[in-house]
Structure formats: C-alpha cells, structure tokens
C-alpha cells in the first residue's frame, strides 16, 4: 500500500513538464537557476533575492511588426522571397508573410490557401475583424471550410505602415460545432492585446 502511494506520487510528478533552466547575469556575475526558483544573488556585496518567472508568451518582432504568441508554438522561418514565419500550435497557427513587393490583397492569399488545402470543398467567406489595443480595428477575410472532414478557419489580414507591409494569417481547427479551439481563443486574445506595427 505504501509503495503504491509512493509510486502514485512519483508518477504524478513525472507527468509535469520540467521547468526551463535559465542563466542570469547580475552585475557581471552569472547564476544558473530554474524558472520560478528564488536564488540569492550578490549585488555590490549585498545579498538580494532574485526570482525569474518564464511567461507563457514569446515576442515576435520583425521589421516593426510585433506581437506576443504562445511559448509552446514552434518557430519556423523561410528566408526566400517573400520571407515568411510560421508559429504552429496544436490547433492554432499564426503565419506572417512579407508583403512589400509585390503587394497582395488578403482575398488573394485566402484564395491561394483555399485552393491548396480545400480543393473542391465548400468554402464560406466573410469579413474578418481583429480589434487590437494598439493598432486599432483591422479588417480582413475569413474562410471557413472542411479539411479531411474537419471544420477549419483561415483569417487573412493586411498590415502596413509606410513602405512596410505584411500578411497575417490566423488558422484554427474548429470543433464539430464550428467553435474555435481554446488554444486559438487564447492566442487571438493575446495577439489583440499586443499587436503593433
């Protein structure tokens, strides 16, 4: 009975992802710690408590375009023209394309994506709206379709400032009821709060 209880405890602890290891430099002196742990650091001969937390977000920053995205989204970059970045979650995906030359419309990219992933499938298109705290209200196009029998949404927005322009694509694997995934909902909420260009 005691062994089973001990095994149950260790199995439960083993299912938690280990915290990130961090190297921090304070006044030129390096310290290695674990995210969320408190360490004693020497600052000018005085011992101070230092704690570093790892936030659940990373910061995308390319050519004046910035926003936060979920930390667990892997980063992929393609340097060939037009340069692009893909941040891919379990259900939700963010893609950014350099749209400097030639400039494309949101509808054109949405059409290309529809042709590539939903050949012959019924596609519904409507206006997409992204309300942001820093960039105002953005409008684009949303396509809803079925991919391999599963509902899928694809939003495309054109972002621009001066000579700089990007295409922002937000994709989500929808539930059978057509509702967005929780991953997408959280991702879009943080994007709305932090997007600027």
Candidate CATH numbers 3.30.420, 3.80.10, 3.40.1350, 3.40.1000; the one for domain 57-194: 3.40.1000
With the C-alpha atoms ordered 129, 132, 138, 141, is the resulting torsion angle positive or negative? Answer: negative
The 10 Å CB-count burial string (b at 16+, else e) for 11-30 is eeeeeeeeeeebeeeeeeee
Give the pLDDT confidence of 78-90 residue by residue, as tens digits: 999 889 999 999 9
- What local confidence, expressed as pLDDT, does residue 124 receive? 94
The residue ranges of every structural domain in the chain are 2-51, 57-194
CB 46 within 8 A of CB 58: no
Does the pLDDT value for residue 117 go beyond 80?
A: yes
pLDDT for position 12? 52
**Rounded to the nearest 10 degrees, how much is the dihedral formed by the CA atoms of 189, 191, 194, 195?**
-140
pLDDT digits (tens, 9 = 90+) for 26-63: 888 999 999 999 999 988 889 999 999 999 999 999 98
């Amino acid at each position: 009975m005691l062994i089973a209880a001990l095994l149950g405890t260790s199995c439960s602890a083993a299912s938690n992802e280990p915290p990130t290891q961090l190297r921090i430099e304070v006044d030129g002196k390096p310290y290695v710690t674990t995210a969320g742990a408190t360490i004693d650091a020497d600052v000018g001969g005085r011992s101070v408590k230092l704690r570093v937390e790892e936030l659940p977000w990373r910061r995308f920053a390319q050519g004046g375009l910035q926003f936060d995205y979920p930390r667990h989204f892997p980063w992929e970059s393609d340097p060939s023209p037009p340069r692009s970045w893909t941040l891919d979650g379990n259900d939700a995906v963010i893609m950014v394309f350099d749209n400097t030359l030639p400039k494309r419309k949101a509808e054109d990219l949405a059409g290309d994506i529809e042709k590539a992933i939903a050949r012959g499938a019924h596609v519904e298109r409507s206006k997409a709206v992204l309300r942001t705290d820093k960039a105002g209200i953005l409008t684009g196009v949303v396509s809803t379709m079925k991919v391999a029998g599963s509902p899928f949404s694809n939003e495309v927005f054109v972002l621009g400032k001066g000579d700089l322009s990007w295409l922002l694509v937000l994709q989500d694997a929808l539930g059978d009821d057509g509702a967005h995934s929780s991953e997408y909902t959280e991702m879009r909420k943080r994007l709305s709060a932090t997007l600027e260009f």
